[in-house]
Amino acid sequence: MNKLDLEKIKETIMVRGKGILAIDESNSTAGLRLASIGLENTEENRRRYRDLFLDVPEIEKYISGAILYDETIRQNSLKEIPFIKLLEDKSIVSIIKVDMGIIDMEGFPGEKITEGLLGLEDRLKEYYEMGARGAKWRAIIQIGENMPSDECISQNAEILSKYAHLCQEAGIVPLVEPEVLMDGTHTIETSEEVLGRVLKKVFDVLQEKDVYLPGLILKTSMVISGKDSNEIKTEEEIAERTVRVLNKYVPKNVGGVVFLSGGQSTKEGIANLNAIAEDTSLPWDVSFSYGRAIQGPALNIWSGNDDNLTLAKEAYLTVLKDLSKATEGEL
């Protein structure tokens, strides 16, 4: 592991005023996005969908990294330029999703484990040669009756640590993503308590395994009430609780902290990030690594009709500009 190289990559991702575009939906999840705008889930439509977000002038002013799916990293843009080259020309770091999705956890109904360690070392080597310098692995934690169990948190933490270790050995900065899902009726207090348990365990295991924290980026959910809880919380409360739990459980030398949107609307994602970034007690650079909250407005405007592309790309850039300001708490 070359610690200096990892830190340099980290610095090209965690840049003031910039964040990460998550556009790494698996083919089946991409199919859901396409279905929502009436398009069939074909390879060509997925290419049109990725192109809408990747081949846009000036995105490099607002994003420093883009998370890609395996199909996309091998694909060409509509102008027949490899997507990875398009990003490289804009000095945007290509980050590759390397987990292979979730499976049911045996003996723990409702809980999930993320797969993909098998053959990961070789896949990382190939992605490195292709030009990827970051990777992403998402573990999901569901809140519910007697959930999450300590076993689920612990197994996912072990797997995330193995993944992070393999990435660093391959010269790739790992985005470590334990997502506490918004699905459910839980209160914001429960969300804070669970995120705390998860972060504590994840960093305990990362440290046991000697993962180099300055060469790692935490991708986390915010402290938010369950989607079906009927609670309405201000961005100030969400920020206060999120900052508190991060300050308590995330070591100060972690390379950076980015947030997923996890089902928040675009407006909420912007406002909540802005409120978090306003807090001066955070020892890390913080930013966004949003998928749905970035893509939503542009996808709806596009709706698969290329006559709408200009407007869709404008809407996309407006979201990115607002997010960029939000990373500095300037909205």
State the residues that interact with ligand 13P by CB under 6 A.
Answer: 22, 67, 138, 177, 260-262, 290-293
In sequence order, which ranges of the chain are alpha helices (DSSP H)?
3-13, 27-36, 43-54, 70-73, 83-89, 120-130, 150-169, 188-208, 235-249, 266-277, 292-302, 309-326
Spatial contact of 160 and 202, defined as CB atoms under 8 Å apart:
yes
| Nearest distance, CB of residue 79 and ligand 13P, angstroms | 26
Separation CA 92–CA 100 (nearest Å)? 24
Residues classed as catalytic: 177, 219
Q: Which is nearer to ligand 13P, 148 or 262 (CB)?
A: 262
If the CB atoms of residues 134 and 262 are measured against ligand 13P, the closer one turns out to be 262
Q: Closer to ligand 13P by CB, 101 or 283: give it.
A: 101
Q: Cβ 279 to ligand 13P, closest distance in Å?
A: 21
We find the least distance from the C-beta atom of residue 7 to ligand 13P, in angstroms, to be 23
Q: From the centroid of its chain, how far is CA 9?
A: 17
3-state secondary structure of 258: strand
Q: Which is nearer to ligand 13P, 168 or 220 (CB)?
A: 220
Residue in the shown chain whose Cβ atom is closest to ligand 13P: 291
**Residues ≥6 apart with Cβ < 8 Å to 77:** 47, 50, 51, 54, 55, 83, 86
C-alpha distances in Å from residue 75, one per residue of 21, 78, 172, 301: 17, 9, 21, 24
Nearer to ligand 13P, 83 or 290 (CB): 290
Q: How many helices, marked H, and strands, marked E, lie in the chain?
A: 12, 10
> Within its chain, how far is the Cα of 46 from the centroid?
19
CB of 251 to ligand 13P, least distance (A): 22
Task: Give CA–CA dist 46/43, Å, rounded.
Answer: 5
Q: Look-up: residue for tokens 């519910």?
A: 144
Say if residues 87 and 75 touch (Cβ distance below 8 Å).
no
Listed in sequence order, the residues at least 6 apart from 153 whose beta carbon sits closer than 8 Å to its beta carbon are: 141, 197, 198, 201
CB of 36 to ligand 13P, least distance (A): 13
Nearest residue (CB) to ligand 13P, 294 versus 301: 294
Q: How far is the CB of 17 from ligand 13P (least distance, A)?
A: 19
